[in-house]
Structures are given as structure tokens and as C-alpha cells.
């Protein structure tokens, strides 16, 4: 009987995706960034980037608080293609938008304060892919930190927004 449980445990570890076994992460599919419309009515749909992607999945910790010693987020990037439709061998840029930041015992920082800004992070791709790219802040997150808003953007090699948080329906 003990042998059967060992085999079931091994099978489970192979069948459950690694982010789930690594502490639990929420999955959010990023969507293509759309150009802003400045007209009085609607505009034809235009993407901000000439690059395309199959999927970019943002994984964030599932718990109430940020876990110590683990990534604040993980990106799984698949099928990034350049304007000629060739798989990209190069880099994208992760832009973490901090939003409004407040620290217990200190107070709330002004919006867009230089103290709350996060430096862009390069993401190297090989054959259009970066599997489970972990992001950890340069400085350990202090206790009592609260952020409102914020988000994540992925920029193409030309600096245009490729993918952002949002939602979409089936085509």
C-alpha cells in the first residue's frame, strides 16, 4: 500500500505544473496593447507593437501577502514573433508599474515618486520563448507595504508596449 502512495505521489508531481507545486501562483493572460484613439468616435483597431505573441502569462503569488524569498511574479512567454513573423531571438522589457505606494510607519509616497519607480528589466528570448522568467525586486519588500493599482507591461525591442494586463473575448 505504501508503495502505491509513493507511485501516486510521483505521478502527481509530474502531472501538476511546476508553478502550482512551487507554492501556488495565479495565472493572468496578458493581452495585446491597443493604440489610443484620439478621434471623436471610434478608430480602426491598431496594436502598439508590430511584434506578435501566442501567449504571455503573468503568474503572481496566490496568497494574501507577498512570500519572502520567492519571485514577486513570473512570466511565461511563448511565440513572440518579429514584424517579419520570425520567432524572436532577442530581448523584451518588463515594465513593472508601481501604482500608489504606502509604507506603515512612514506614510504614502507621492504618485510617480522616484522612490517607488521600478527599473525596466530585460527578458531574453530564444526561439520566441522565455519559460518561467522570475522577477524579484532589487530590494527586499518591507513589512507593512501596501500598493494600489499598478500593473505589468511587456515592451517589444523597439520600446513599444506589446502586452498589458486586460481582458479579451474569443475572436
Residue 31: strand pairing partners? 164
Residue 130: strand pairing partners? 77
Half-sphere exposure of 128 (CA within 13 A, CB side): 16
> Which residues touch 82 (CB under 8 Å, ≥6 apart)?
50, 51, 88, 157
Identify which of 54, 88, 58, 92 has the alpha carbon closest to the alpha carbon of residue 75. 58
What is residue 3's predicted lDDT score, i.e. its pLDDT?
A: 46
Tens digits of pLDDT across the chain (171 residues): 444 433 434 334 333 444 444 458 899 999 999 999 998 889 999 999 999 999 999 999 888 888 888 888 999 999 999 999 999 999 999 999 988 999 898 899 998 888 888 889 999 999 999 999 999 887 788 888 888 888 899 999 999 999 999 999 998
How many other CB atoms sit within 10 Å of the CB of residue 20? Answer: 12
Amino acid at each position: 500500500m505504501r508503495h502505491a502512495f509513493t507511485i501516486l505521489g510521483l505521478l502527481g508531481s509530474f502531472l501538476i505544473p511546476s508553478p502550482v507545486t512551487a507554492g501556488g501562483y495565479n495565472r493572468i493572460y496578458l493581452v495585446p496593447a491597443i493604440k489610443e484613439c484620439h478621434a471623436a468616435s471610434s478608430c480602426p483597431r491598431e496594436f502598439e507593437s508590430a511584434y506578435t505573441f501566442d501567449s504571455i502569462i503573468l503568474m503572481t503569488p496566490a496568497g494574501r501577502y507577498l512570500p519572502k524569498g520567492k519571485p514577486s511574479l513570473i512570466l511565461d512567454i511563448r511565440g513572440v514573433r518579429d514584424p517579419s513573423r520570425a520567432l524572436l531571438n532577442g530581448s523584451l522589457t518588463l515594465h513593472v508599474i508601481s501604482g500608489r505606494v504606502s509604507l506603515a510607519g512612514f506614510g504614502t509616497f507621492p504618485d510617480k515618486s522616484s522612490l517607488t519607480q521600478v527599473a525596466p528589466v530585460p527578458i531574453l528570448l530564444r526561439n520566441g520563448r522565455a519559460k518561467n522568467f522570475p522577477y524579484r525586486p532589487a530590494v527586499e519588500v518591507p513589512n507593512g507595504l501596501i500598493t494600489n493599482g499598478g500593473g505589468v507591461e511587456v515592451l517589444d525591442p523597439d520600446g513599444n508596449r506589446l502586452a498589458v494586463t486586460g481582458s479579451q473575448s474569443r475572436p
